């Protein structure tokens, strides 16, 4: 996908992404970078091709080793180049390794970008087509492409597909969370325990705290990823996990959703810092703090990593108060958990919530 400032490369199978890379070279940026003043020449083109080719080196060999069965180009740039190839009778619409050099030579007959006259090229694409063809030729060379089919769909359709998926069973965010779990070696059994407990607690207070299905999904993802930072270091792992979640490219998640996820993971243990929720807008702060309180309790209740299910717990909530009732026999057999629950009154207080544990 050749954009204005960057080009994205993805290898996938079905709904699964196998490899993703982003090259900081797009049709607009490359036109401005390599052809200042709008001047074209074979020497400038050759130098630019070599420069972009070097930027492929960190991932080209890995991509070629993995391989693919079909190559697709998505974006207005590919559609424009495809139209030119078809009009010049170089192909029937596909972009090929044989057609690109002929197209480039035809383009370089012009000495200035404003003078480019390529058959089938629209006037609005003329100012940026040189950079697009340059990036595509570099991609063909670096990746050993022979033929590129052009997708009729692009970002707009991708966004619509994402929206439809969120309403059904194909939410890309679920796949991303699963991929992160695998990549960072998260204990999925423990993640399941914490998620189940967290959602059970949420169900008991959702009406009083005005939490909805989207909040439940966010809490579930945070529960599944709360131990992500253990792969980096045990000390301060909640801080490490939060940083990874905030600054990674996580498919399907908006920037704001990643910030929410990072804030929940950052606040699931130890003291809550004053800046933990600074990245979130005012309208999400109350929900974020309430979800963090539920996650803290879920993690604490499953800290022993016991296989036996938890007994029935009773959680009640008011505006800024939270009360938990735990069965007497269960808590008597776990003095460390009793101490943790009592100590958690200070931890949850950092969220602006008064927490009181009771024994039934």
Segments making up each domain of the chain, as ranges: 7-152, 171-311
Q: Given the DSSP bridges, would you call strands 16-23 and 147-150 parallel, antiparallel or unpaired?
A: unpaired
- For 181-237, the pLDDT digits (tens) are 999 999 999 999 999 999 999 999 999 999 999 999 999 999 999 999 999 999 999
DSSP letter assigned to residue 170: -
Fold of 171-311: Hypothetical protein af1432 (1.10.3210)
SS3 219: helix
**Kindly report the CA angle at 148 between 147 and 149, in degrees rounded to 5?**
120
What does the pLDDT read at residue 329?
A: 94
What does the pLDDT read at residue 15?
A: 75
Hey, how many other C-beta atoms are within 10 angstroms of the C-beta on 152? 7
CB 20 within 8 A of CB 9: yes
CB 327 within 8 A of CB 339: no
What does the pLDDT read at residue 156?
A: 83
Residue ranges in the chain modelled with pLDDT below 50: none
Find the helix or strand (DSSP H, E) in which 16 lies: strand 16-23
Selected from 3.30.420.150, 3.30.565.10, 3.40.50.360, 1.20.1050.10, the CATH number assigned to the domain covering 7-152 reads 3.30.420.150
What ranges make up the beta strands (E) of the chain? 7-13, 16-23, 72-73, 95-96, 147-150, 314-317, 321-326, 354-359
**Kindly report the CA angle at 129 between 124 and 133, in degrees rounded to 5?**
155
What does the pLDDT read at residue 161?
A: 78
């Amino acid at each position: 996908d050749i954009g204005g400032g960057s080009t994205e490369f993805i290898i996938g199978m079905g709904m699964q992404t196998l490899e993703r890379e982003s090259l900081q070279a797009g049709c607009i940026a490359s036109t401005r970078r390599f052809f200042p003043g709008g001047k074209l020449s074979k020497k400038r083109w050759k130098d630019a091709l070599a420069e972009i080719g070097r930027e492929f080196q960190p991932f080209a060999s890995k991509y070629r080793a993995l391989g693919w069965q079909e190559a697709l180009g998505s974006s207005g740039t590919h559609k424009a180049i495809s139209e030119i190839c078809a009009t010049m009778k170089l192909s029937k619409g596909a972009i090929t390794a044989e057609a690109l050099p002929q197209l480039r030579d035809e383009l370089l007959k012009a000495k200035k970008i404003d003078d480019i006259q390529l058959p089938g090229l629209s006037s609005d694409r003329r100012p940026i087509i040189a950079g697009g063809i340059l990036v595509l030729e570099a991609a063909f060379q670096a990746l050993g492409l022979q033929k590129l089919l052009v997708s009729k769909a692009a970002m707009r359709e991708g966004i619509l597909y994402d929206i439809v998926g969120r309403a059904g069973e194909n939410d890309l965010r679920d796949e991303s969370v699963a991929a992160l779990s695998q990549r960072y070696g998260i204990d999925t059994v423990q993640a399941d325990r914490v998620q189940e407990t967290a959602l059970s607690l949420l169900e008991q207070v959702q009406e009083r705290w005005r939490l909805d299905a989207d909040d439940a999904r966010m809490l579930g993802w945070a529960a599944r990823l709360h131990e992500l930072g253990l792969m980096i270091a045990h000390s301060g792992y909640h801080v490490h996990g939060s940083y990874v979640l905030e600054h990674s490219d996580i498919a399907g998640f908006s920037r704001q959703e990643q910030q929410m996820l990072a804030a929940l993971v950052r606040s699931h243990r130890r003291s809550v810092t004053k800046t933990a929720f600074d990245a979130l807008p005012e309208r999400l702060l109350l929900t974020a703090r309430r979800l963090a309180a539920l996650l803290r309790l879920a993690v604490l209740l499953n800290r022993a990593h016991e296989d036996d299910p938890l007994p029935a717990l009773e959680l009640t909530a008011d505006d800024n108060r939270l009360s938990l009732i735990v069965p007497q026999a269960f808590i008597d057999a776990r003095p460390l958990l009793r101490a943790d629950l009592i100590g958690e009154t200070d931890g949850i207080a950092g969220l602006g919530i008064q927490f009181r544990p009771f024994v039934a």
